[in-house]
Amino acid sequence: MLSKCVCQMTKKWTEWVARLPAVVCAINNEVTRLIGKKPAEAIKTKAFSSKPSTKYTRPVGLNEKSSPPIVNVRYLYQRGELDGGCRRATDSIWSLKVFYIERAVTKLNEPVIYHLRGEPMRGFVRE
């Protein structure tokens, strides 16, 4: 009984793997709502603008009050950034060190992006 179940699962996975290239091709050739382009075309460009994926209920962009550079902040680690230990996928993992804001970038209708002194070399938004 168990071997029959395993055989059926293997057949389903084999079919899925065989169909995967066609699925990826179809996704890459559909115009996306956020960028207004096909992903296959967007990959070839150096930069493009996108629409926000959600509407903000708080002040955003030029109307948003930005944090001053003297504020100490911690950030939320990305998945896999801090490995080790047993955690649930839903656990929040905050940086162990405290950072200062190096600079803030403000654009029209987008949240303020903060860059921190030192590591990591990526931007953050205030949440």
Q: Is residue 106 part of a domain?
A: yes
Pair 32, 60 in one domain: no
Q: What are phi and psi of 87, to 5 degrees?
A: -140, 155
- pLDDT tens figures, 3-17: 665 666 677 788 888
> Structure pTM?
0.45
Compare 125 and 23 and report the one with higher pLDDT: 23
Domain that holds residue 31: 2-42
Instruction: Decide if pLDDT at 55 tops 80.
Output: no
> How many domains is the chain partitioned into structurally?
2
Pair 68, 121 in one domain: yes
Of all residues in the chain, what percent carry a pLDDT higher than 70?
Answer: 69
Pair 77, 17 in one domain: no
N-terminal to C-terminal alpha carbon distance within the chain: 52
Q: Over the Cα atoms of the chain, what is R_g?
A: 22
Pair 80, 116 in one domain: yes
Pair 37, 80 in one domain: no
Pair 57, 103 in one domain: yes
Pair 66, 125 in one domain: yes
Q: Is residue 123 part of a domain?
A: yes
- pLDDT tens figures, 76-120: 777 666 666 666 666 677 777 888 787 777 777 777 778 887 777
